[in-house]
Amino acid sequence: MAERFSFDGALLHGFRAAHARTFPWSFALAFALISTGLTSVALFLARGTLFRFFDAAEALEGQPTPADPWQAITSLFGVLAPLVPWLALSSVISWIVWAMFEAASQRRYIRNEAFSLRFGADELRMMATGFLWYLMQLVLFIVPILIIVSSSVGALHSVVDGTLSEREFERLMLQRAAVVFGLMLILLPVYVFFATRLSPCFAMTIKDRRIVFRGAWPVSRGRFWPILGAFLLISIVGGMAVGLISSLAQILLLPVMMGSTFVTDEVPDLRDLFTPAFFFAMAAYMFVRFFMTGLLMHYCDGPAAFAARHDPAGGVDDTEKIATFD
């Protein structure tokens, strides 16, 4: 018999939905393997540019004060310019991978499907919904972001030019930080409200087989506190578990990483870090971290997906009951 929407149902949906014994572990394992592989490849490809950056920084530190300090800083960070296209490509790949896993997660909750990764219509619609979610975040937090970026760049330029002392720079940055903190105190509850009310959009995108964003608003009407409470409980307890297990993995793997070389401030020793033993230890740590993150990601989808299953306009359970009678 189909159950009605409730706090208990939202909280435990990830543990009660179809394939509860296999799906979360398959999801987390695939997420860890793909994320660890992509991150390792990215770090390996970027190592040459990072070495050149540290070489340039060391050379700049050993020189007398340049006539144009701002140009020297610009030249230093210009060494990182080759990474920009790779960062753009990495963002697109991350977007696609997220959509694949989010769609797989929601298919379990909405369609009772077993775990599978693919790239098709569901994933394309999920990418569009995710982009709308990103725009919502950007609109809400654009003012603090602009304040931080503009004040930091302007103040740093003034320090380099000598028109602003270090003490004045610190005072200015503290003032800007206080303004940003005040704005965040105002904007964070606003974001939590909109994020909670719109959170069923990902599950609704899978349920309705179309891009759903504002259409998630009616689904969460009268369910704000159960959805938010269940999400917070899962994310807080799960976050503590992720932190604890990640810390244990770090402690266990630290001797391997430290045994590969010794760490000092010298650039040659930084190059020595990139040994097979170090890469193995880092990959093992990332795997554990991503595995736990994948589990948490999937279970955190549960409360909003449970609300989507009980859409007042026609829930999944209602459709299944009608199909049974037919």
What's the 3-state SS for 53-95?
A: HHHHHHHHHCCCCCCCHHHHHHHHHHCCCCHHHHHHHHHHHHH
Q: What are 205-219's pLDDT values in tens digits?
A: 999 999 999 999 999
Give the pLDDT of residue 46. 80
pLDDT confidence band for 325 (50 / 70 / 90): very low
Structural domain contains residue 57: yes
- pLDDT band at residue 324 under the 50/70/90 scheme: very low
In a domain, 318, yes or no: no
Using pLDDT thresholds of 50, 70 and 90, give the confidence band for residue 52: confident
For the chain, what is the domain count? 1
pLDDT of residue 272: 65
- Report which residue type is found at 288: V
Positive or negative torsion for Cα 180, 166, 161, 66: negative
pLDDT in tens, 184-203: 888 899 999 999 999 999 99
Is residue 319 pLDDT above 60, yes or no? Answer: no
pLDDT at res. 97: 98
Does 320 map to a domain? no
pLDDT score at 3: 67
Task: Let me know if residue 258 belongs to a domain.
Answer: yes
pLDDT tens sequence across 166-183: 677 677 778 778 888 888
Using left for φ > 0, alpha for ψ between -120 and 50, and beta otherwise, residue 162 falls in left
Of 116, 139, 122, the closest CA to residue 202 belongs to: 122
Residue-level length of the chain: 326
Residues ≥6 apart with Cβ < 8 Å to 317: 2, 3, 309, 310
pLDDT, position 253: 84
Q: Give, in order, the Cα–Cα distances in Å from 219 to each of 16, 255, 301, 303.
A: 21, 51, 15, 12
- pLDDT tens-place string over residues 218-259: 999 999 999 999 999 999 999 999 999 999 998 888 887 666
CA distances from 292 to 45, 153, 183, 220 (A): 26, 37, 32, 28
Which residues make Cβ contacts (< 8 Å) with residue 312, sequence separation at least 6? 218, 219, 221
pTM confidence score: 0.84
- Non-local (6+) Cβ contacts of 78 within 8 A are none
pLDDT tens digits for range 256-293: 766 655 544 454 456 666 677 788 888 999 999 999 99
Residue 326 lies inside a defined structural domain of this protein: no
Whether the pLDDT of residue 92 is over 70: the answer is yes
pLDDT of residue 314: 77
Q: What is the pLDDT of residue 6?
A: 94
Within a domain: 238:
yes
Domain residues for the domain of 17 are: 7-313
What is the Cα 53 distance to its own chain's centre? Answer: 26
Task: Evaluate whether residue 322 is within a structural domain.
Answer: no
Is 47 inside a domain boundary? yes
